Amino acid sequence: MNPIVIATILVAVIGLLGAVLLVVASKVFAVTEDERVKEAELVLPGANCGGCGYAGCSAYAKAVAEGAPVNQCVAGGAAVTEKLAMIMGVEAGAATEYKAMVACLGDNTHTHKRYEYHGIPTCAACNVLYNGDSSCPFGCLGFGDCARACKFGAIQVVDGVARVDRDKCTGCGACKTVCPKRIIFLYAFKERPKPIVMCSNHKKAVDTRRDCTAGCLGCGKCVRSCPVQAVEVRDNVARVDYNKCIGCGKCAKDCPVNCITIPPKYTA
């Protein structure tokens, strides 16, 4: 037989065997994909903000299909929670709405600059030099690292202090992560909002007053006015125990420097 014909037949046979092996392997090693993952991904907002605790919406969709709670998407809120619950056939559960809060009142009218900073215009960079250029070493630096981290345009710097637009905030926590001062936290807006101490200065009263005219003096007046002992002065600054607090507002009313506030109930 012609060698060329023999070679052609051998190649054809080898190719056929390879194709058969590939088909068999695809059947044997096939991974069944949960269709609910795709459905969940379509429901999620696609912001990939990480507020759910997972590395993006795709990762959370997969986790939900594997049994993770359906009420963890802070960007999507209650609407997304309900849709995910329908896809997974589970109860939606109550979802607490969180919004970012910047615990600082030290704007340009209450603080001053200790030196002129001409370095990289970020809070992280400025904070490396003597805890920043602000007279208050614990307060907002105002370079907007948090604003740049926010994917929803919910933060802007006003008079040297970051402020949050609660209508836009999803509570993802990206701003909290990048703040070098750790003065941004997620606040749970419930039926009866609770007080926030808008200061993190741990110095004694005379020094705090020198740093910021809106800073907590640690005077303890709020402690004495609280009917349920939910407030204490710790490291020269007032702190609220939210497990005890009933949201009566007496501490905010009695604060001599008005650094304790109760945000209004957030309504979407």
pLDDT in tens, 49-98: 877 878 889 899 899 888 888 888 888 888 888 888 889 888 877 666 78
pLDDT band at 266 (very low <50, low <70, confident <90, very high): very low
Please give the residue that has the higher pLDDT: either 14 or 149: 149
Task: Assign domain 194-268 to its CATH architecture.
Answer: 2-Layer Sandwich (3.30)
Nearest Cα to Cα of residue 238 among 254, 256, 253, 223: 223
CB 169 within 8 A of CB 186: no
- For position 29, what pLDDT does the model report? 66
How deeply is 254 buried, as exposed, middle or buried, from its count of CB atoms within 10 A (0-12, 13-18, 19+)?
Answer: middle
Residue 188 sits at φ, ψ, to 5 deg, of: -85, 115
Please give the residue that has the higher pLDDT: either 119 or 190: 119
The full set of domain ranges for the chain reads 35-88, 97-188, 194-268
| pLDDT for residue 174 is more than 80 | yes
Please give the residue that has the higher pLDDT: either 155 or 45: 155
Mean pLDDT of the chain: 88
- For position 158, what pLDDT does the model report? 96
Mean pLDDT confidence for 126-149: 96
196-197 vs 155-158, strand pairing mode: unpaired
Does the predicted TM-score (pTM) go above 0.85?
A: no
H helices, E strands: number in the chain: 10, 8
Residues of the chain with pLDDT > 90: what percent? 54
Pick the CATH number of 35-88 from 3.40.630, 1.25.40, 1.10.260, 1.10.15: 1.10.15
- For position 124, what pLDDT does the model report? 97
Mean pLDDT confidence for 37-51: 86
- For position 155, what pLDDT does the model report? 96
- For position 78, what pLDDT does the model report? 80
Encode pLDDT of 217-234 as tens digits: 999 999 999 999 999 999
Nearest Cα to Cα of residue 103 among 171, 158, 181: 181
* Rounded Cα gap, residues 158 and 136, in angstroms: 17
Q: What is the DSSP string of 162-179?
A: EEE-TTT-----HHHHH-
CB 173 within 8 A of CB 151: no
CATH node for 97-188: 3.30.70.20
232: β partners: 239
pLDDT band at 121 (very low <50, low <70, confident <90, very high): very high
Question: One fold for both 97-188 and 194-268?
Answer: yes
